[in-house]
Amino acid sequence: MKQKNYEIDMTHGSLLDKLLLFAVPLMLSGILQLLFNAVDVAVVGRFTSSEALAAVGATTSLINVYVNLFIGISLGASVVTGNRFARGDDKGVSKAVHTAVTAALFFGVFILIIGSLTSKFFLIRMGTPPEILPQSLIYIRLYFCSMPFFMIYNFGAAVLRSVGDTRRPLVYLTISGISNVILNLTLVIVFHMGVAGVAIGTILAQLISAALVIRCLMRVEGSYRFDPRKMHIDMNTLSYMLRIGVPAGLQSMLINVSNVIIQSTINTFGTSVIAGNTAAMNMNGFMYMSVNSITQAALNFSSQNMAVRNFKRLDRIAAECVLLDLVIGTIAGGGLFLAGHQVLGLYTTDQQVISYGMVNLAYIGLPYALCGVMDTLPGCVRGMGYSLAPMLIAITGVVLFRFFWVFVVFPLDPTLENLYLSYMVSWIFSIIMHSICFFAVRKKIRSA
């Protein structure tokens, strides 16, 4: 059948080319999805003011805290669907697809309501400067209106990734990304809607991506076809997804809590530093999407090979994914640093803001390959069906470590450089612990 041209056989044959075939479209998809926020930031920075740029940037860490728990659950949906697909369990795949889409809609509405009600409280507690707080509130409350569409797209794309299809989500995000650019420029430049305009543009763009992925799932031929009349939650399937996904989501959420603490500390340096950090973190976000695509490949390939007990291939998956992280992360980090002044100039013309952004790129962007390795190893472990241990390691190696750094190490030398150094040191610490965990799990499953 035609649809099978999009699928990848993850359990047989050559590996590196299939990892790249899976990861490259996913990498481009992630970059396009990140463009939703990057375009918001660039448009307000270039066509409104540095205060508006800081207002959007001040919301990023808080938004991530809300959404990452449920994005983690979408990883659980991908593992469950891929595992059943590899075993030829058509009925189980169908249950996973309909449970995933139904849960996505529920989670999106939940975030919309809770996020809108609590955003002012948390932005104030984060120390958001009073002069940008009103604009931050307008942006974040409108942004939360896109959450049902955002979740449906991500869970639908997770289903497609579970069978090796990363190309069609790329096409859908290309369409919605172009729409986002056009809408943002029109609403801000023509209608002078400021931060509200870029948020509304994002809502409509997310709606487009969600509609396209659902249309795709409704038209495929095979066990992962979606039928709206069959929408339901199978509790056994959801329980399996939550067992894998909730620890991953909690890990991401708690890491972003640590980033909120760091953002709160950055806020004390003033509006120019906030704006520079916002632009640079957007650039770092592109690198994260690049290395995260390798993590996604490691998780999905490990899941399918675990289903058929192909243990030797599991080792090759881990080794080749770590190598890809080091190569891609080093090239991306070095390239962005060398072009930093020019790229930051796309966000703002304020030279002081650009100089603060370059500090971020030097301490976080250059060593970003370490972040990729740190994420890929637990991705392999989750693909093998173990999600709790990677979460506990991440809480210790990233969250608690960064808390310690902010409240103990940073006061000894309260500089921006010292604050940013916490990222690289926490990555190295976590890699050591995740490596130990990976080999321990491999030994356990071999002896089982």
d(CA 101, CA 213): 11
Q: What is the mean pLDDT of residues 190-214?
A: 92
Closest CA to 128 of 191, 61, 68, 75: 61
Closest CA to 361 of 380, 385, 379, 343: 343
The secondary element (H helix, E strand) that includes residue 31 is: helix 16-47
More confident residue, 49 or 232: 232
Q: What is the DSSP letter of 397?
A: I
Phi, psi angle pair for 406, to nearest 5°: -65, -40
Statement: residue 81 has pLDDT above 80: yes
The CA-based angle 85-435-29, given to 5 degrees, is: 50
- Summary mean pLDDT of the chain: 88
Q: Which residues are CB-contacts of 338 (< 8 A; sequence separation ≥ 6)?
A: none
d(CA 111, CA 146): 10
Share of the chain above pLDDT 90, in %: 49
Statement: residue 251 has pLDDT above 60: yes
- Cβ atoms of 336 and 361 closer than 8 Å: yes
Statement: residue 409 has pLDDT above 70: yes
- Cβ atoms of 2 and 281 closer than 8 Å: no
**pLDDT band at residue 1 using 50, 70 and 90 as cut-offs:** very low
More confident residue, 80 or 75: 80
Statement: residue 4 has pLDDT above 70: no
* Tokens describing residue 345: 């100039």
d(CA 101, CA 159): 9
- Cβ atoms of 242 and 108 closer than 8 Å: no
Q: What is the mean pLDDT of residues 170-187?
A: 89
**pLDDT band at residue 33 using 50, 70 and 90 as cut-offs:** low
Statement: residue 380 has pLDDT above 90: yes
pTM over 0.75: yes
Q: Say what the pLDDT of residue 326 is.
A: 95
> What does the pLDDT look like over 131-165, one tens digit per residue?
999 999 999 999 999 999 999 999 999 999 888 88
Q: Which residues are CB-contacts of 120 (< 8 A; sequence separation ≥ 6)?
A: 137
Q: Say what the pLDDT of residue 385 is.
A: 85
Q: Say what the pLDDT of residue 381 is.
A: 93
Statement: residue 6 has pLDDT above 80: no
Q: Say what the pLDDT of residue 376 is.
A: 94
Burial of 188 (0-12, 13-18, 19+ CB in 10 A): buried
